[in-house]
Amino acid sequence: MRINFVIRSASYKVYGIVAIILCLTTTLFAQQNKYPTAEIESFYDLNFTKAERDSFLTNLQDFQKSLQAIHQYKLDNAVPMSLIFDPVPSGFSIETLQRPIDWGLPKDIQLPENKNELAFYPVYKLAALIKSKKITSTALTRMYLDRLKKFADTLQCATVVLEETALKQAKKADEEIARGKYRGPLHGIPYGIKDLLSVEGTETAWGAAPYKGQVINETATVVKKLEEAGAVLMVKLTLGALAMGDIWYGGVTKNPWDLKQGSSGSSAGPAAATVAGLVAFSIGTETLGSIVSPSTRCGASGLRPSFGRVSRQGAMALSWSMDKIGPICRSALDCALVFEAIRGQDGMDHHVRNAAFNYSAKTDIKKLKVGYLKNWFEGNYPTKENDQKALEVLKTLGVDLQPVDITTKIPVNAIRLMLTVEAAASFDELTRSNRDSLLTDQRKNAWPNTFRAARFIPAVDYINASRIRTELIKEYYEKTKDFDVIVAPTFGGTQLLTTNLTGNPCIVVPNGTNARQTPTSISFLGKLYGEAAVVSLVRAFQEATDWEDKVPPFFK
């Protein structure tokens, strides 16, 4: 089993990590040569003698000097850790040979009589209309811009509308297509990005009041790749402050199906705007549910790629070992089209692997090995009826569902403290400067309190959590390696946390409504870098159902 964190710099000092936490402890009990108290030691599950305390007190004071030196050195959020997380378990082989992709896209798509219906067309249909010159990118972009102006305030989903830029890009797309230079299915398609992705010369506020007015002088790799694909960037969309929830400095982003309810988060704006027909697709991010949760709430199709599939260069860092960037769309096929454009190495995010994405529309889903989390599907939970109907649809398609059990004795919830520590490190200066009081959400479990409390998690235990995570990766791989896809209740058991820790991909899609008449979802999990098989199965599921075609009435 490989070690999942690799030291990239010979100058990296492991004791420096330990020093940070030990020095924090001195602020509690090592002032003026006072000894640590047994009560404080018990909080950390430690028990030292008086002689031992006397011996290490000087060390703590030395560590405190290191801590102060670290605090005096300015670190931008963009500076990564020197440790690289690798989710690949021993015995796993990465497919690197890329074959031509057979999308199986429709060719003869007709314009609807009511042009407003285009707002809710999936990307693959819009692409056919643009390619066949039945509509221009400029006309499509103007339509979406009009809808943004009409509905963005209602949803509280937009931070910056890039009208001038969008129209220039749309015009360029039309000119290129007229000359016969067609870049592919995203050419001329208008989209939006979560406002933690930087665009040079544009405010990137991360949803948080302390960062209003912040301009980062680079454009994120994802945005550059989409520009190369010919897509048209129209708007920066809201996120819960610093990638938590749906509360941002401008309010609460709304669920397009129920304007009294938040859209969930943290990719709040991308999910809401996509489903409400304000953009053709959007880019979100996930650390622990931030694509899955708002896609569920709003009724979008969201793809959380494998860890290390998409470069995070130019994206706000929350957790270096868990952050992932992926598309939020109207269908799984749309997600695949966008994913193909944004995936791959850029030479800057060293976590990104060279792995193939060999999707083919000709894949026989009956030959896929598909598991389902039987014990969690059989439990009592609010969306069980919708999930059972979804499983029946898969069976009618000829899918042989085999039970799989990923329950574990590993303390999965405890490993989550890695996210907490990394997030607190990402926003260390915000905490120490007390500017965290400017964040809108000050509830007990919101970031300000979480960041403060995280300062007292020992570095030793952070490292041991990462070692337990290695065990989790190994165990999950052994239990699931025989399956191409695993169907799961979206919020069943610990699967969402587990697969975010292991780095496995997920596509979440709508599968019905709840008592509140808002969408519910079901999740499809894949092997590491195995997004192609998941797309094949979910595409078949969506072609057999119509949940992804539903439109929130207020936005028709």
pLDDT of residue 163: 98
For residue 265, report the phi and psi dihedrals to the nearest 5 degrees.
Answer: -165, -175
Q: Where are the beta strands (DSSP E) in 123-276?
A: 158-161, 190-194, 232-237, 247-248, 251-252, 254-255, 258-262
pLDDT of residue 293: 98
pLDDT of residue 4: 46
- The helix (H) or strand (E) run that includes residue 526 is strand 519-526
pLDDT of residue 2: 41
> What whole-number distance in Å separates Cα of residue 491 and Cα of residue 258?
21
Residue 530: pLDDT over 80: yes
For residue 322, report the phi and psi dihedrals to the nearest 5 degrees.
Answer: -135, -15
- The DSSP annotation for 433-458 comes to TTGGGGSS--STTSHHHHHHHHTTS-
Residue 38: pLDDT over 90: no
> What whole-number distance in Å separates Cα of residue 235 and Cα of residue 192?
5
Could you tell me the two tokens for 214?
């912040």
For residue 445, report the phi and psi dihedrals to the nearest 5 degrees.
Answer: -100, 10
Q: Which residue has the tokens 């690197």?
A: 96
Amino acid type, 289: G
Q: What number is the average pLDDT over the span 247-263?
A: 98
Find out whether 203 and 214 touch, Cβ atoms under 8 Å: yes
For 3, residues 6+ apart whose C-beta sits below 8 A from its C-beta are: 470
Residue 55: pLDDT over 90: no
CA dihedral sign of residues 120, 394, 374, 86: negative
Could you tell me the two tokens for 131?
């390619």
The larger pLDDT score, comparing residue 54 to residue 422, is at 422
Least confident of 36-45, 188-197, 268-277: 36-45
pLDDT of residue 54: 86
pLDDT of residue 57: 86
> What whole-number distance in Å separates Cα of residue 356 and Cα of residue 98?
5
Q: 528, 523, 483, 484: which is closest to 505 by C-alpha?
A: 528
Q: What number is the average pLDDT over the span 75-80?
A: 95
pLDDT of residue 259: 98
Q: 132, 124, 120: which is closest to 103 by C-alpha?
A: 124
**67-95 burial, b for 16+ CB within 10 Å, e for fewer?**
beeeeeeeeebeebbebbbbbbbeeeeee
> What whole-number distance in Å separates Cα of residue 102 and Cα of residue 406?
33
509, β-bridge pairs: 522
How many other C-beta atoms can be found within 10 angstroms of the C-beta atom of residue 349? 20
What confidence tens digit (pLDDT) does each residue in 464-491 have? 999 999 999 999 999 999 999 999 999 9
CA dihedral sign of residues 202, 206, 210, 216: negative
pLDDT of residue 29: 44
Residue 9: pLDDT over 50: no
Find out whether 192 and 238 touch, Cβ atoms under 8 Å: no
Find out whether 368 and 399 touch, Cβ atoms under 8 Å: yes
What would the 3-class secondary structure string for 124-159 be? Answer: HHHHHHHHCCCCCHHHHHHHHHHHHHHHHHHHCCEE
> What whole-number distance in Å separates Cα of residue 84 and Cα of residue 4?
8
Confidence of residue 414 (pLDDT cuts 50, 70, 90): very high
pLDDT of residue 308: 98
What would the 3-class secondary structure string for 541-555 be? Answer: HHHHCCHHHCCCHHH
pLDDT of residue 34: 54
For residue 53, report the phi and psi dihedrals to the nearest 5 degrees.
Answer: -60, -40
Confidence of residue 522 (pLDDT cuts 50, 70, 90): very high
CATH class name, domain 115-408+470-555: alpha beta
Confidence of residue 425 (pLDDT cuts 50, 70, 90): very high
Q: Which residue has the tokens 């999965």?
A: 412
For residue 398, report the phi and psi dihedrals to the nearest 5 degrees.
Answer: 90, 15
Q: What number is the average pLDDT over the span 63-67?
A: 90
> End-to-end alpha-carbon separation of the chain, Å?
53
Q: Which residue has the tokens 């598309």?
A: 327
Where are the domain boundaries for CATH 3.90.1300.10 in the chain?
115-408+470-555
Residue 6: pLDDT over 80: no
Supply the pTM of this predicted model. 0.93
Find out whether 521 and 495 touch, Cβ atoms under 8 Å: no
Q: What number is the average pLDDT over the span 49-72?
A: 89
**Is 259 in a helix, a strand, or coil?**
strand
Confidence of residue 35 (pLDDT cuts 50, 70, 90): low
Residue 401: pLDDT over 60: yes
Q: What number is the average pLDDT over the span 157-173?
A: 98
**Is 4 in a helix, a strand, or coil?**
coil
Least confident of 26-40, 68-82, 240-254, 312-326: 26-40
Mean pLDDT value across the chain: 93
The larger pLDDT score, comparing residue 25 to residue 253, is at 253
Query: How much of the chain, in percent, has pLDDT values that exceed 70?
Result: 93
For 181, residues 6+ apart whose C-beta sits below 8 A from its C-beta are: none
The Cβ-side half-sphere exposure at 485, using a 13 Å CA radius, reads: 26
Residue 384: pLDDT over 80: yes
Q: What number is the average pLDDT over the span 157-167?
A: 98
pLDDT of residue 341: 98
Query: How much of the chain, in percent, has pLDDT values that exceed 90?
Result: 88
Find out whether 206 and 242 touch, Cβ atoms under 8 Å: yes
Helix axis angle, 137-155 to 268-275, nearest 10°: 120
Q: 522, 9, 554, 466: which is closest to 296 by C-alpha?
A: 522
Q: What number is the average pLDDT over the span 207-221?
A: 98
Q: What number is the average pLDDT over the span 84-106?
A: 97
Q: What number is the average pLDDT over the span 162-166?
A: 98
Task: Report CA-CA distances (Å) from 189 to 117, 119, 129, 136, 340.
Answer: 15, 11, 11, 10, 15
pLDDT of residue 94: 97
Could you tell me the two tokens for 61?
């004071």
Amino acid type, 230: G
pLDDT of residue 26: 44
What confidence tens digit (pLDDT) does each residue in 181-198 have? 999 999 999 999 999 999
> What whole-number distance in Å separates Cα of residue 478 and Cα of residue 152?
46
Amino acid type, 189: I
The Cβ-side half-sphere exposure at 102, using a 13 Å CA radius, reads: 6
Q: What number is the average pLDDT over the span 121-136?
A: 98
Beta-strand relationship, 254-255 and 258-262: antiparallel
Find out whether 323 and 291 touch, Cβ atoms under 8 Å: no
